[in-house]
Copies of this chain bind each other. A is one copy, B any other.
Amino acid sequence: MKWIKIKKLTDQLVFDYRIHPIVKDHCSCRLPSNREIKEIIKLSKEVLFPGFFSKRNVSETGHWLSTFLVTKRLHRKLKREISLALLYLADESRDKNIAKKSCTLCVDFIASLPQIRAQLHTDLEAHYLGDPAAFNRDQIIVSYPGFYAIVIYRMAHRLHQLGVPLIPRMMAEFAHRETGIDINPGAEIGDYFFIDHGTGVVIGETAVVGNHVKIYQGVTLGALSTRGGQFLKGVKRHPTIGDNVTIYAGASILGGSTVVGDNATIGSNAFLTESVPAGARVSIAKQEQTIRIASERSSQNVV
């Protein structure tokens, strides 16, 4: 009797799939899988920081063979997911090129990992020098969510530059899930980038961020309005941040033509929709806060 019920449920579902195919714009291919993207991120982290995320000793990181084995696995997995992503978007006819193209893209990505390492080295310095609670640099690599999100962003951004579809955003959303930090792979972010705590940070697709920028939890570099929806595709909707800018917790900087000049400091909870010049210190006027002392039944205003 149980089987009859499950058979009936299946009939209903299959009927529904035919009547309401929820999505129409896919071809007949497999999509890249979130599980494999997670594996690829893990393997890339092993390549970027040898010895930190494996059971190998840190001192063995120069070993050629262990590097070779990790790189080989990364190459195999990444190439497969890239080819799925390319096939997914391709016309049936060009399948042959795709095998070759996904191999080239994969090799290009791995070949740029030393460059990404160099940039991450600057981010690591920014995290260590900026946070009094940081014990040492290794701890930042192993456990800081801000640094973790930046590692994934720099890889996703590289794949985005190489023109790989789907996968960069899947990586970014993996980082978002893990850290609460949502950096669109399209954003351009300079060296020595520091995100502290990070939960709730949003950095939009067309944001541009300079060098030596510090960002705290809850900061949004966003769009003014997305009422235009898909019509706004490709338009610069997110702000430009200069060098040496610090943006404190909860501040929102919105709009594609909003520019924050070099060396500016944006205070907690500030709400900027217009540009500010270099060196500016923006802070919201102290809000009028009421403090009532319950025990005295009196009330006083403080600024």
Give me the interface of A with B, judged by CB distance under 8 Å.
2, 5-7, 9-10, 12-14, 16-18, 20-34, 47-53, 55-59, 61-62, 64, 67-68, 71-72, 75, 88, 103, 107, 110-111, 113-114, 117-118, 120-121, 124, 128-139, 141-145, 165-166, 169-170, 173, 176-180, 182, 184, 186, 196-197, 199-200, 202, 204-205, 217-218, 220, 222-223, 226-235, 237, 246, 249-250, 252, 254, 263, 268-272, 276-296, 301
Complex CA gap A259/B105 in Å reads 53
Which chain B residues lie closer than 8 Å to A51 at the CB level?
30-31
Q: Nearest residue in B to A9 (C-beta to C-beta)?
A: B110
CB within 8 Å for A165 and B135 given contacts A10-B64, A62-B17 = yes
A250 near B249: Cβ-Cβ < 8 Å: no
- A51 to B105 CA separation, bound complex (whole angstroms): 26
Complex Cα spacing A198 to B20, Å: 28
Contact of A9 among B111, B134, B184 (CB under 8 A): B111
Within the complex, the shortest CB–CB distance from A32 to chain B, in Å, comes to 8
Cα(A130)–Cα(B233), bound, Å: 11
Contact B229 A129 (CB under 8 A): yes
Partner of A129, one of B62, B178, B220, B230: B230
Question: Are A184's CB and B29's CB within 8 A?
Answer: no
Cβ of B226 and Cβ of A14 under 8 Å apart?
no
A165 to chain B, nearest CB (A): 7
Copies of the chain in the assembly = 3
Closest 6 CB pairs of A and B: A28-B59, A285-B288, A132-B232, A16-B114, A143-B173, A279-B294
The answer to whether B237 touches A132, judged by C-beta atoms less than 8 angstroms apart, is yes
8 A-B pairs besides A6-B72, A132-B234, A177-B179 with CB distance below 8 A are A23-B141, A27-B58, A28-B58, A132-B205, A132-B228, A132-B229, A133-B233, A281-B290
Do most interface residues of chain A lie in helix, strand or loop, or is the interface mixed? mixed
Inter-chain CA distance A238–B55, complex, in Å, is 37
Given that A132-B232, A217-B202, A293-B280 are known contacts, is A142 also in contact with B16, CB under 8 Å in the complex? no
Contact partner of A71 (CB less than 8 A), chosen from B9, B28, B276, is B9
A192 to chain B, nearest CB (A): 13
Residue among B34, B61, B217 making CB contact with A220, cutoff 8 Å = B217
Whole-angstrom CA separation of A270 from B302 in the bound complex: 13
Are B232's CB and A71's CB within 8 A?
no
A74 to B169, CA, bound (A): 29
**Inter-chain contact A58/B30, CB cutoff 8 Å:** yes
20 A-B contact pairs sorted by A residue (CB < 8 Å): A7-B68, A9-B107, A10-B71, A22-B117, A23-B49, A23-B141, A25-B136, A30-B56, A31-B52, A34-B142, A132-B205, A132-B231, A135-B165, A139-B166, A177-B178, A182-B217, A199-B199, A222-B249, A281-B291, A284-B289
